[in-house]
Amino acid sequence: MQAAGEAAPVFATAAPRFDAKWLIIAACVVLTLYLGMVPLAFLLWQSFFTPQSAAKAAVFTFGNYREAYGSADTWLLFGNSLRFATGAAALSFAIGTLLAWMNERTNTPFKGLFFALSVIPLIIPGILFTVAWILLGSPKIGIINLALQRLFDTDAVFINVYSLGGMVWVDGLHYSPVAFLLMTAAFRAMDPALEESAIMSGASVLQVVRRVTLPLAWPAVFATLLILFVRAIESFEVPALLGLPVGLQVFTSAIYQAVHRYPSQIGLAAAYAVTLLAMTSVGVYLQSRLSSSGSKYATMTGKGFRPRTIDLGPWRYLTMAVFLAYFLFIVVLPFMVLLWSSLQKFYAVPSMEALSRLTLDPYRTIIAYPNLLRAVWNSLLLAVASATIIMLVTAVICWIVVKTRLPGRWLLDNFASLPMVFPGIVLGLAIMILYLTIPAGIYGTIWIMLIAYVTRFMPYGLRYNTTSMLQIHKELEESAAMSGASWTTTFWRIILPLLKPGLVAGWIYIVIVSIRELSSSILLYSPGTEVVSIVIWELWENGQYVELSALGVMLILALFVLVLAAQWLGRQFGIREL
């Protein structure tokens, strides 16, 4: 507390009496630590025990670590995971950043339209996106291969999704919106004066990007790469559907197999997950070093600024072409595949024969699906509530981490970040067992899912806020305090509005991923608290792919409207000209 006072001495003098500030800060810190610690403690504790069954009680052991790390298999899987995650993160980053830069920093025509379109890949459930790419890029039935083969009259295989390259491509594309959203927030809050000076001094657009824009956005770049990499490491669908058929297994397969044995080897899965925890901790620690390098990256100062765009001249048609290419190949193609299969009785390669079988039955089945409306309502409720809670709480946490000199604050950051790598099922189990044991009455209700969602997505909220927070210069809150504003007022009236780019981007992201969340929902839901992702999983398990495609199409359209609305609302309540 003393250290916090030192960092912002103005507050200490301005608020000698009781201040709501401490209450808010304490509440946020306690909540974060509680949410982060519970699964962490469970995971570490479990990793030292043998599986429990009626016949054999659990005993203390180091065997899980021996089994997890003593075998060469693990390291081979780990190598595969690293290559896959590095590739996927790099691809997502490149695509997302390019789009964000074009959208925020250039005068590309029609770019306003593209924001909402850019997040579509994220909206498509992972399973569907992957299957859509199988149907596009399989060597045997892939539409792209079939079309090119007909065009060039050859049997050659042009693209093959069943390869490491294919996995990187599909996963990288799917998560490029994460980079897009994060980098959009970063670019939006960046003072263009520096870029303008560079242009005035005769630098080319490329030079400006390389020497000014990206270095200034370095904390955001780092946060984005961290989040993309860690997420790709724990990715499951793409490796299972594209890697397995050709024998490419990754680390998460080992975790999955451990959990699915009987008795369930939660301890072994936990021992595997410890590596992921360690890697994330290193990443978070490095990022905290960036954060503490002071106001180097803060371009949002007391001087008014308007993030103006760079005039690309005739090049803007090139960037528009890039946008169009992105939409055709990344958004429209998979969407068309979904639309096509949603109109079929079973999936068939497009042909005249299949065309004669078009039907709206899948849509009828979906609309009549038991509990669908309730599931949609629950999902919306959970998504909006968890996104809002997370963004507000992590804004406070991130203020502590970035703006104060509190010792050990990076640990706070770390605790809040670790849930990112808990295998979803371990997180679900930890929460389930905790609330079955303590009679809080929330087991079996929607609240337990809210807790799971907030825990699971807190790390993302934190990253989104951190990138924006780093760009806000301290002088802004100092002047507010000088003018007599309390901390609470400053936070509400100055910090939050300035954080808006990160807040909105993070909010949108969390809403979307909450609607897709499956691995903990599937353990924690009860009759009455079904969510949309469960329905998706159901349809997948039942093999109702055409119905699933129909739901996918409806979901994409609905979320698309939601994103547009959020963007519009953001404009209504945001700072003008930002």
Partner 1 sequence: MLRALALLFFSVAAAAANRDVYLYQGADREARLIAGAKQEGQVVLYSTMTVQDGRALAAAFEKKYGVKLLHWRGSAEKIVQRALAEAKSSHDGADVFETSSHRMEALYREMLLEDFYTPAFAELSPAAFPKGHRQYVAARFAFFVLGYNTRLVKPAELPASYEDLLHPRWAGRLAIESTDVLWFAALVKAMGEEKGLAFFRRLAAMKPQIRSGHILGAQLVASGEIPLFVDAYNNNMETLKKAGAPVDWKPLAPAYGQASAIGVAKHSRRPHAALLFTEFLLSREGQEFFKRVNRVPASLAVDTPLNKFPHEIIDPAIALDEGEKWDRLWSQLFLGGKPVEREE
Among 542, 565, 568, 571, binds partner 1 (CB under 8 A): 542
DSSP, collapsed to helix, strand or coil, labels residue 548 as helix
Query: Should residue 158 be labelled a site residue for partner 1 when binding is judged by CB under 8 A?
Result: no
- Residue 328 one-letter amino acid: L
Contact 39, 509 (CB under 8 A): no
Give the x-and-dash track for 189-218 against partner 1 (CB under 8 A).
------------------------------
Contact 415, 408 (CB under 8 A): no
Among 357, 364, 374, 493, binds partner 1 (CB under 8 A): 357
Long-range contacts of 24-31 (CB under 8 A, 24+ apart): 24/396, 24/488, 24/491, 25/396, 25/400, 28/393, 28/396, 28/397, 29/397, 29/400, 29/412, 31/393
Determine the interface stretch with partner 1 among 47-55, 330-338, 471-479, 563-571 (rule: CB under 8 A): 47-55
Query: Should residue 336 be labelled a site residue for partner 1 when binding is judged by CB under 8 A?
Result: no
Contact 210, 201 (CB under 8 A): no
Least distance to partner 1, CB of residue 128, Å = 12
Query: Should residue 311 be labelled a site residue for partner 1 when binding is judged by CB under 8 A?
Result: no
Query: Should residue 245 be labelled a site residue for partner 1 when binding is judged by CB under 8 A?
Result: yes
Query: Should residue 369 be labelled a site residue for partner 1 when binding is judged by CB under 8 A?
Result: yes
- Residue 539 one-letter amino acid: L
Least distance to partner 1, CB of residue 59, Å = 17
Cis peptide before 39 (omega within 30 of 0): no
Nearer to partner 1, 135 or 276 (CB): 135
Query: Should residue 129 be labelled a site residue for partner 1 when binding is judged by CB under 8 A?
Result: no
User: Rounded to the nearest 10 degrees, how much is the dihedral formed by the CA atoms of 22, 28, 32, 34?
Assistant: 70
Give the span between the Cα atoms of 92 and 547, in whole angstroms. Answer: 29
Query: Should residue 433 be labelled a site residue for partner 1 when binding is judged by CB under 8 A?
Result: yes
Query: Should residue 261 be labelled a site residue for partner 1 when binding is judged by CB under 8 A?
Result: yes
Give, to the nearest 10 degrees, the angle between helix 333-342 and helix 126-137.
100
Query: Should residue 163 be labelled a site residue for partner 1 when binding is judged by CB under 8 A?
Result: no
Query: Should residue 517 be labelled a site residue for partner 1 when binding is judged by CB under 8 A?
Result: no
User: Rounded to the nearest 10 degrees, how much is the dihedral formed by the CA atoms of 362, 177, 245, 347?
Assistant: 20
Give the span between the Cα atoms of 555 and 567, in whole angstroms. Answer: 18
Task: Quote the tokens at residue 206.
Answer: 């490329």
Least distance to partner 1, CB of residue 533, Å = 13
Give the x-and-dash track for 64-93 against partner 1 (CB under 8 A).
--------xx--x-----------------
Map the footprint of partner 1 across residues 92-111, applying CB under 8 A.
none
Number of residues binding to partner 1, judged by CB under 8 A: 53
Applying CB under 8 A, the residues found at the interface with partner 1 are 53-55, 72-73, 76, 131, 134-135, 138, 140-141, 240-241, 244-247, 249, 259-264, 345-349, 357, 369-371, 429, 432-433, 436-437, 443-444, 522-523, 525-527, 534-535, 538, 541-543, 545
